[in-house]
Amino acid sequence: MASLTAAACLLLALEEEAAAQAITAYADAEGWGPDTARLGSVGSAGTWSLERIESLAEEAARAFYIKLQELGWTEGVAAAAAARADASDSTLLAFHLDLVRSYPTQLILAINHVLFERHGYRRQRRHGDPLDSRLSNVLENGNGSPGSLAVLYLELCGRMGLALEPVALEGGRYFVLMPADNAASLSVAGERFVIDPYSEGLLMSEAEICELFEVGEGGLQPCSFATMLAGILTVLRDSHWCAAVGCPPEPLLMVPVSVEVALGEYRDVEVSTSSGEDEAGVPTFRVSFSESPTEAEVPTGRQWWPAEGYHLQRALAAAQKRAWLLPDDLHALLDYALCLYFSKQYEDAWQELGCVLQAAKGEPLEAATFGEREVEQMELLWEKMRLQLAFAGS
């Protein structure tokens, strides 16, 4: 399953890359300047074919067996190392897996050494860069978001025979990894530990993680790989959204994709976007905030996104894929409807929001996804869109 997750992440990256290259070519043709190159980062053939990940796994395997030899293991180690790559000898392969399950900490140390010390993979330098959520860019340049680094770590461990499961934190914006079964234990004195790939593979106790991320009763629970991909798409959507509306990309400071924003009730902020031309005929992309004294209208020739709202469209694409992955998650469906609304696709937004409202009203009261006030706001926005459509058709 881990390989499928990596392949899916590369497919997401491929679409992002294709869109970036297309808009870069268009921007160059329009004379918007060289800064549009920041949108894309073409990877090598080894990156797109997963050969780079396989090479990292081979390197980690060698480091793992060196660590075992340092502990005194010599007999059968070389043969077991060869069996990891060639599964034809089931006895030797079973021996390799037994070593992995018996010494998971040594395996984690080996992977950490290869990834973070030898190759310099590291956490993103700043919030809000869409490139950090593309697995291809992470493999090429080393900077990664919590989700993309977790996928890379998960992939290496899976190829080494250590099955892990992701645990989603902060609404899928952060991930730690835990053993998928009891065959490999990361417990000491009865206390279980998890791996934090974003902190260079640091082992942290479940109690520490629960306190740090305010996880309540029930403790840490593994999530599906679909949920993991949806979390990566959430971060990607946020990055593009913040770039589109010009707000800070930090989670606590960003203007959220919410019904309140659509209705102009969030911090007295009304966000609207439009494109056009100024008096000199220069293409512009306009972002309006009611709390600002004037509208911000910036010539796109000095920006790295074009007048058509490239980032807004990429935010919409990410929200749409997230809705496909989580068809029963009303929050994901609402986010998609709102991104359609902000993209001024009012008819599609009206239909999607109507489906969300219908599902929300059909839920039992004790299991309701939204509160009464939230439903009222959605109904108000739905009616606002209906009037916009009626006005446009008149």
**What is the token pair recorded at 134?**
């593309």
| Confidence label for 42 from pLDDT (cuts 50, 70 and 90) | low
**Over residues 239-255, mean pLDDT:** 84
DSSP label at 1? Answer: -
Report the range of poorest mean pLDDT among 44-58, 86-100, 278-292.
Answer: 278-292
pLDDT at 269 over 70: no
| Confidence label for 34 from pLDDT (cuts 50, 70 and 90) | very low
**Over residues 256-261, mean pLDDT:** 90
**Over residues 324-344, mean pLDDT:** 94
**What is the token pair recorded at 238?**
């946020």
For residues 324 and 311, what is the distance between their CA atoms, to the nearest angstrom? 20
| Confidence label for 390 from pLDDT (cuts 50, 70 and 90) | confident
**Over residues 201-221, mean pLDDT:** 89
Sign of CA dihedral 157, 158, 164, 169: positive
pLDDT reported for residue 294: 34
3-state secondary structure of 363: coil
Per-residue pLDDT reduced to its tens digit, 119-133:
999 998 888 888 899
Going by DSSP bridges, is the β-strand pair 164-169/174-179 parallel, antiparallel, or unpaired?
A: antiparallel
pLDDT at 298 over 60: no
pLDDT reported for residue 238: 94
Contacts of 179 (CB under 8 A, 6+ apart): 104, 162, 163, 164, 165, 185, 186
pLDDT reported for residue 94: 79
CB 256 within 8 Å of CB 334: no
- 284: phi then psi, degrees, rounded to nearest 5: -130, 155
pLDDT reported for residue 115: 96
pLDDT at 347 over 90: yes
Cα separation values, 289 from 128, 245, 269, 300, 382, Å: 20, 9, 5, 19, 22
| Confidence label for 392 from pLDDT (cuts 50, 70 and 90) | confident
Per-residue pLDDT reduced to its tens digit, 62-110:
899 888 888 876 665 655 555 555 555 566 677 778 888 888 999 999 9
- pLDDT more than 90, % of the chain: 43
CB 229 within 8 Å of CB 324: no
**Looking at domain 228-393, which CATH architecture does it have?**
Alpha Horseshoe (1.25)
The one-letter amino acid at 145: S
pLDDT reported for residue 291: 39
pLDDT reported for residue 341: 92
Mean pLDDT of the chain: 82
**What is the token pair recorded at 387?**
């009037």
For residues 237 and 89, what is the distance between their CA atoms, to the nearest angstrom? 46
Residue ranges per structural domain of the chain: 41-223, 228-393
More reliable by pLDDT, 390 or 328: 328
For residues 237 and 221, what is the distance between their CA atoms, to the nearest angstrom? 25
Per-residue pLDDT reduced to its tens digit, 154-196:
999 998 889 999 999 999 999 999 998 766 778 877 788 999 9
**What is the token pair recorded at 37?**
């190159």
Give the orientation angle of helix 2-29 with respect to helix 146-160, to 10 degrees.
140
| Confidence label for 32 from pLDDT (cuts 50, 70 and 90) | low
The one-letter amino acid at 78: A
DSSP label at 37? Answer: G
| Confidence label for 281 from pLDDT (cuts 50, 70 and 90) | low
- pTM: predicted TM-score of the whole model, two decimal places: 0.84
The one-letter amino acid at 206: E
Report the range of poorest mean pLDDT among 7-11, 25-29, 100-104, 370-374.
Answer: 25-29
